[in-house]
Structure 1
Amino acid sequence: MADDLTLLLPRASDFLWSPYGYIPTEYVCIMFIVLFGISTFAHTVEAIFLRTWWLLPTACLAGALEVLGWAGRLWSSDNITGVQPFQIQITATILAPTPLVAANFIILGRTIARLGPTYSRLSPKWYTIVFLSCDIIALIVQGIGGGMASSAAGSGRDPSLGGRVMLGGIAFQLVTIAVYAVCALEFYLRYLSIYRTIELADGWGGRKFTTEVYFNVLDGAMIVLAMCTLNVANPGLLLSEAKLEDAPSVEERKRPASSSRP
């Protein structure tokens, strides 16, 4: 009888305000911390052993940010009203995919250099310059928006303005990835940005943002899959250190050569 009455009693968590709209599941947070930790450690070892140093500020940085973000969510699962863990997780998980996308931009340039830049619309060097510049712009905008939103949410103010700034940065990144996908036929890179765009367009308190399973599957699982794929298909093993020489591209070859005059 006492057990039956206990089931009817409201839980303490029902009365707690949560900036997430739910309480992060502890074992899910631990699982992603372990997965991202293992993948990041493997990327670090591979980068040092294979001397692919550019993976350190890209894939390794992305993994470290994911570990930090999921650690913030784990902290929130035990301290749901805490402002600091929420600020850590929202900022880290928003920024983490950007360095990983940068790694793919660099891989595209090296792949083109390896297989032959004469068959590309742009030279390998310009692929890296253009797409990395766009990625840095998106990172800055998302960082500003994330800081504004987390600060507002933590102090009980409306975080919509920061959310819109983040949405603008993520939408810009989505356009950049779409252009990259057309050039490289790497359509799988679209999934994360599409989820984040829909999530923030739905509003800070919308169903996409306040439903944990969407975040776990469409954010955490997608980034784990991308990082583990890069662990297995490591560019240091599959691509030699080809120089990103400014070889003529398809468009450059179409231009008529200027005739020299005596």
Structure 2
Amino acid sequence: MSDDNHTDGSNYGYTPSPAWCLAFIVLFSVSATVHSIQAFRYKYWIIYPTLVLGALVEVLGWSGRYWSSQNVTLLTPFLMQISTLIMAPVFFSAYDYVVLGMAINRLGPQYSLLQPKYYFATFITADIISLVLQAIGGGKASSSAAEGAPTQSATNIMVAGIIFQLVSMGVFIGLGIDFLLRATAEKPYAFRVRQIERNNAKKAQKAMATGERKDSNGTLVPTSSDDTRVTGMNSTQEKTEGDLEAQKGHVSEEYEHQHIRAWWILLIGVGISSLMILIRGIYRSIELTQGWTGHLMTTEMYQNILDALMMLIAVGIYNFIHPGYLLPRKKTWKGYH
């Protein structure tokens, strides 16, 4: 528990508990370390600038709070934890955007209102705007609070940034739910079907122009004038080949079913992580609306549960629901998968 005998001059309204601070420092550090090992082993470079970096930012923020627990009157650690803990969720949500975009690309882009490649670009841009607003507002508000000056205008900037993030995350979750419902019911968007057909026609024309075709696995191979089946096969050979093709088709179908199930499991991870970020955003917006002397701001329990714990789940869920465990092993670092 925080020590109420040392809250005089505290910008928090209490003295942060060193035990809680150390616990979250260790937990976020463990998650970052495990993610680093998993990313290296399975060749997922995108994890480093998203989940790993975000977890390290959390470690930095909670280190600032631990510093404050040793001397609660210091301004530097207070500003340090304000700025870092505001930024951290942006990195976690960025990975959510990537995974949903990949899943849609694999499970059926015709069921998504937005093209898979636009998920990351659209929502990370929204997060950057939110981050800038929160950083500017947070810096001004914390400095003003430390000097005893009015903080309302700066706090309003922070609230605007968080609300902007809430709206963008809400739209993201809405698009994700819409995709899940349509994919489950097999009800594609008509305009997306037409769009995909046009793109496929263009690719086919380009392949024909370059003298290429695709085999049964979707791999481009050169065409040849001798690429015809020999007609002089005896009945035994035809039967044998037919059996092999049937077995191949059965194995391929079973593999595809497992592959699709893996992507659905990954989407569960996206849903859990996104929900945690949404809950944290709602808490932060209410907290700042109440002001720097409000009940939420001056009660440590809410920070620990509705911010730290939510973010720990948001990043930690991917230590267990990891693409490296579920999807075919990547052979190179190229691409997200």
TM-score class, shorter-chain normalisation, is 0.7 to 0.9
Q: CA deviation at 1:126?
A: 1.5
Asked if 1:27 corresponds to 2:115, the answer is no
2:184 matched residue in structure 1:
none
CA distance in 1, matches of 2:36, 2:161: 28
Paired residues for 1:52-91 under 5 Å: 52-91=44-83
2:82 partner amino acid = I
1:200 matched residue in structure 2:
288
CA distance in 1, matches of 2:56, 2:146: 23
2:160 partner amino acid = G
1:184 partner amino acid = G
CA distance in 2, matches of 1:56, 1:153: 35
Q: CA deviation at 1:158?
A: 2.6
CA distance in 2, matches of 1:223, 1:209: 18
Q: CA deviation at 1:243?
A: 6.8
Mapped contact 1:113–1:243 kept (Cα < 8 A) = no
2:299 partner amino acid = T
Mapped contact 1:26–1:74 kept (Cα < 8 A) = yes
Q: CA deviation at 1:234?
A: 1.4
- Normalized against structure 1, the TM-score is what? 0.83
Q: Which entry has the higher C-alpha Rg, 1 or 2?
A: 2
How many correspondences in the alignment? 233
Mapped contact 2:79–2:142 kept (Cα < 8 A) = yes
2:90 matched residue in structure 1:
98
* CA distances 1:41-61 after superposition (whole Å, capped 9, x unpaired): 111111222221111111111
Q: CA deviation at 1:235?
A: 2.9
Mapped contact 1:110–1:239 kept (Cα < 8 A) = no
Structure 2, unpaired ranges of 5+? 178-270
SS in 2 for 1:96: helix
Which of residues 203, 220, 232 in structure 1 aligns to 2:320?
Answer: 232
2:307 matched residue in structure 1:
219
CA distance in 2, matches of 1:13, 1:118: 59
Which of residues 161, 176, 186 in structure 2 aligns to 1:184?
Answer: 176
Which of residues 125, 141, 156 in structure 2 aligns to 1:149?
Answer: 141
* CA distances 1:14-40 after superposition (whole Å, capped 9, x unpaired): 6x2110000101101100000000001
Q: CA RMSD in A?
A: 1.9
Mapped contact 2:68–2:77 kept (Cα < 8 A) = yes
2:6 matched residue in structure 1:
13
CA distance in 1, matches of 2:50, 2:335: 19
Mapped contact 2:58–2:84 kept (Cα < 8 A) = yes
Mapped contact 1:91–1:150 kept (Cα < 8 A) = no
Q: CA deviation at 1:12?
A: 5.2
1:5 matched residue in structure 2:
none
Q: CA deviation at 1:214?
A: 0.5
* CA distances 1:224-260 after superposition (whole Å, capped 9, x unpaired): 111110111113433567979xxxxxxxxxxxxxxxx
Mapped contact 2:6–2:14 kept (Cα < 8 A) = no
- Normalized against structure 2, the TM-score is what? 0.66
Mapped contact 1:98–1:135 kept (Cα < 8 A) = yes
Mapped contact 1:131–1:176 kept (Cα < 8 A) = yes
SS in 1 for 2:293: coil
Mapped contact 2:61–2:84 kept (Cα < 8 A) = yes
Structure 1, unpaired ranges of 5+? 1-10, 245-262
